[in-house]
Amino acid sequence: MKYVFSFLGFMLVGCVIGQEAQRTSLGMSGGTYTIENGNSSIYVSQSVGQNGVIGSFQGEGYAVRQGFQQPPVRVVSLPQSDQPLDAVVFPNPVVTSVNVQFNESIVDTVEGKLFDVLGKEVLHKEYAPQQSLSIDMSQLPVGTYVLVLGTQGKQFTSRLIKN
């Protein structure tokens, strides 16, 4: 009987001492961080796959998201112009290079950008003022691209298919 009480006492002490409040986050991946800012600190816990409310809050110079956290993604919006640039693109589908013929006078440099379907810029080049351009796409993989050309405050956008 003495051993039974000793064992139960040992287990009771172990259970009481072993209990400690701890901040945790359950999910497939994520982490917890404490950010120090002068005299204050912010506790951040994030997880992929966590259950909870989804929302966001924005303040001056910061944004806080709650719920499912996403990895950092750079979002690029294509610039919009009120004045279209008059041009023709051929051939489409493209095999090695695409030709651009402008139907208006070009007197300033032409800025050309090519984006893949994920919005990643794969080509950025400036061209001298001329009425026609040839853009080499031979090094790019097969896929769909968006061509954006701009000059003189005007912009031309075309979807290209690379075979």
DSSP letter (8 states) at residue 151 = E
Separation of alpha carbons 147 and 145, rounded Å = 6
Pair 50, 25: CB distance under 8 Å: yes
Single out the residue of 54, 34, 46, 41 nearest to residue 72, CA to CA: 46
**pLDDT tens-digit readout, 119-163:** 889 999 999 999 999 999 999 999 999 999 999 889 999 999 999
Q: State whether the Cα torsion 42-47-52-56 is positive or negative.
A: positive
**pLDDT tens-digit readout, 23-38:** 454 445 566 667 777 7
Does residue 90 have a pLDDT over 60?
Answer: yes
Separation of alpha carbons 65 and 72, rounded Å = 12
Q: Which two tokens stand for residue 23?
A: 């901040």
In the sheet that 87-90 helps form, which strands lie side by side, from edge to edge? 87-90, 97-102, 132-136
**Longest CA pairwise span in the chain (Å):** 104
Stretch(es) of the chain classified as CATH 2.60.40.3080 = 87-162
Single out the residue of 80, 81, 89, 93 nearest to residue 147, CA to CA: 89
Phi and psi at 87, nearest 5°, equal: -150, 160
pTM over 0.85: no
Q: Which two tokens stand for residue 59?
A: 């303040």
What's the Cα-to-Cα distance from 59 to each of 44, 46, 63, 107, rounded to whole Å? 16, 19, 6, 44
**Residue 58 amino acid letter:** Q
For domain 87-162, give the fold.
Immunoglobulin-like (2.60.40)
Q: How many CA atoms lie within 13 A of 55 on its CB side?
A: 4
**pLDDT tens-digit readout, 41-59:** 776 666 555 555 455 666 7
